[in-house]
Chain A
Amino acid sequence: MKHEKMLMLFVLMGLFILAFIVLTLANMIITQITLDFSGLIDTARDSMVWRSIWLTLYTAFLATVIAFIFGVPLAYVLARKDFFGKGLIEGIVDVPVVVPHTVAGIALLTVFGAHGLIGAPLASYVKFVDALPGIVVAMLFVSTPFLINSAREGFQSVDPRLENVARTLGASRWRAFYKITFPLAFRHVLVGAVMSFARAVSEFGAVVVIAYYPMIAPTLIYERYISYGLSASRPVAVLLILVCLTIFITLRTIAGVRRDDRD
Chain B
Amino acid sequence: MIEIKELNRNWREFSLTNINLDIKEGEYFVVLGPTGAGKTLLLELIAGFYHPDRGEIWIDDENVTSLPPEERRMGFVYQDYSLFPHLTVGENIEFGLRLKKISESDMRRRTKEIGDLLNISHLFHRSPRTLSGGEQQKVALARAIVIEPSVLLLDEPLSALDARTRDVLREELRKIHREAEITTVHVTHDQTEAMFLADRIGVLMGGEIAQVGTPGEIFNAPINERVAEFVGVENIIEGVVESNEDGVAGININGHRIEAVSAYSVGDRVRVCLRPEDVTLAFSRERSSARNSFKGRITQMVPLGALTRVKVDCGFPLMALVTKRSVEDLGLRKGDEIIASFKAIAIHLIR
Which residues of A pack against B, CB within 8 Å?
159, 161-162, 164-173, 175, 179-180, 183-184, 261-262
Question: Closest chain B residue to A261 by CB distance?
Answer: B86
In the A-B complex, the 3 residue pairs with the closest CB atoms: A169-B96, A170-B99, A167-B69
Other-chain contact of A165, B68, B72, B78 (Cβ < 8 Å): B78
Complex: chain B residue closest to A175, CB-CB: B99
- Whether A171 and B85, one on each chain, are in contact in the complex, defined by CB atoms closer than 8 angstroms, is no
Please determine whether B74 and A168 come into contact, CB atoms closer than 8 angstroms: yes
> In the complex, which residues 77-121 of chain B have their Cβ closer than 8 Å to any Cβ of chain A?
78, 80, 82, 84-86, 95-96, 99-100
Q: Do A169 and B143 contact each other (CB < 8 Å), given the known contacts A161-B78, A180-B84, A184-B85?
A: yes
B44: which A residues are within 8 A, CB to CB?
A: 164
* A179 proximity list for chain B (CB < 8 A): 95
Are the C-beta atoms of B82 and A184 separated by less than 8 Å? no
| In contact, A168 and B99 (Cβ under 8 angstroms) | no
Smallest beta-carbon distance A254→chain B, Å: 16
Chain A binding surface, main DSSP class? helix
Question: Are B96 and A159 in contact (CB-based, < 8 A)?
Answer: no
B144 at interface, CB cutoff 8 A: yes
With both chains docked as a complex, state the minimum distance between the C-beta of A230 and any C-beta of chain B, in angstroms: 50
What are 26 contact pairs spanning A and B, CB under 8 A? A161-B82, A162-B82, A162-B84, A164-B44, A164-B69, A164-B82, A165-B78, A166-B84, A168-B47, A168-B76, A168-B153, A169-B70, A169-B96, A169-B144, A169-B147, A170-B96, A170-B99, A170-B100, A170-B147, A171-B70, A171-B99, A175-B99, A179-B95, A180-B84, A184-B84, A262-B86
Tell me, rounded to whole Å, the shortest Cβ–Cβ distance linking B328 to chain A: 47
By the criterion CB–CB under 8 Å, are A164 and B76 in contact? yes
Query: How distant is the Cα of A164 from the Cα of B76 in the complex, in angstroms?
Result: 9
- Please give the distance in Å from B97's CB to the nearest CB on chain A: 9
- B37-84 contacts to A (CB < 8 Å): 44, 47-49, 68-70, 72, 74-76, 78, 80, 82, 84
Whether the pair B70, A168 counts as a contact (CB closer than 8 A) is yes
Q: Which residues of the other chain, B, contact A171 by a CB distance below 8 angstroms? A: 70, 95, 99
Q: Which residue of A lies closest to B50 (CB)?
A: A164
Q: Which residue of A lies closest to B78 (CB)?
A: A161
- For the complex, give the distance between the alpha carbons of A172 and B68 in Å: 8
**How far, in angstroms, from A97 to B74 measured CA to CA in the complex?**
46
A162 to B80, CA, bound (A): 10
Nearest CB in chain A: distance from B148 CB, A: 11
Whether A168 contacts B69 in the complex (CB less than 8 A), given A161-B78, A175-B99, comes out as yes
Closest chain B residue to A160, Cβ basis = B49
Interface residues of B in 117-153 (CB under 8 A from A): 143-144, 147, 149, 153
A71 to B76, CA, bound (A): 32
**Given known contacts A183-B86, A184-B85, A184-B86, A168 and B78 CB-to-CB distance under 8 angstroms:** no
B42 to chain A, nearest CB (A): 14
- Specify which chain A residues have a CB less than 8 angstroms from the CB of B69 in the assembled complex: 164, 167-168
The docked-state distance in angstroms from the alpha carbon of A171 to that of B74 is: 12
Q: Say whether B68 contacts A166, CB under 8 Å.
A: no
Q: Which residues of A contact B147 (CB under 8 A)?
A: 169-170
Contact B144 A168 (CB under 8 A): yes
Chain B positions within 8 Å of A170 at CB level: 70, 96, 99-100, 147
> Which residues from A are CB-within-8-Å of B82?
159, 161-162, 164-165
Question: Chain A's nearest CB lies how many Å from the CB of B79?
Answer: 9
Report the minimum CB–CB distance from A115 to chain B (whole Å).
48
Question: What is the CA–CA distance of A262 and B85 in the complex, to the nearest angstrom?
Answer: 8
Q: Which residue of A lies closest to B96 (CB)?
A: A169
- A172: chain B residues within 8 A (beta carbon): 68, 70
A91 to B119, CA, bound (A): 52
Q: Which residue of B lies closest to A165 (CB)?
A: B82
Measured between alpha carbons, how far is A169 from B145 in the docked complex, in Å?
10
Give the nearest-CB partner of B69 in chain A: A167
Question: A166-B95, A169-B95, A169-B99 given. 20 additional CB < 8 A pairs?
Answer: A162-B84, A164-B44, A164-B47, A164-B69, A165-B82, A165-B143, A167-B70, A168-B72, A168-B76, A168-B144, A169-B75, A169-B143, A169-B144, A169-B147, A170-B99, A170-B100, A171-B95, A184-B84, A184-B86, A262-B86
Hey, which chain B residues are within 8 Å of A168, CB to CB? 47, 69-70, 72, 74-76, 144, 149, 153
B72 to chain A: which residues have CB within 8 Å? 168
CB distance from A136 to the nearest CB of B (A): 33
In angstroms, Cα B84 to Cα A164, docked, is 11
How far, in whole Å, are A175 and B68 apart by their CA atoms in the complex?
A: 13
Whole-angstrom CA separation of A199 from B125 in the bound complex:
41
Q: How far is the CA of A172 from the CA of B69 in the complex (A)?
A: 8
Complex contacts, A173 vs chain B, CB 8 Å? 68
C-alpha gap A166/B68 in the complex (Å): 12
Chain B residue at smallest Cβ distance from A169: B96
Give the shortest distance, in Å, between A112 (CB) and chain B (any CB): 41
Which residue, of B68, B86, B96, has the highest number of chain A Cβ atoms within 10 A? B86
Q: How far is the CA of A165 from the CA of B152 in the complex (A)?
A: 12
Q: Please give the distance in Å from B126's CB to the nearest CB on chain A.
A: 14
On chain A, the residues within 8 Å of B100 by CB distance are 170
B70 and A165 contact, CB distance less than 8 A:
no
Q: A159-B82, A170-B70, A184-B86 are in contact. Are A164 and B49 (CB under 8 A)?
A: yes
Chain A contacts of B86 at CB under 8 A? 183-184, 261-262
Name the A residues within 8 Å of B153 (CB-CB). Answer: 168
**Complex: A184 Cα to B84 Cα, angstroms:** 9
Task: Pick the most buried of B44, B48, B96: most chain A CB atoms within 10 A of its CB.
Answer: B96
Bound complex: CA of A113 vs CA of B189, how far in Å?
65
Q: How far is the CB of B29 from chain A (nearest CB, A)?
A: 18
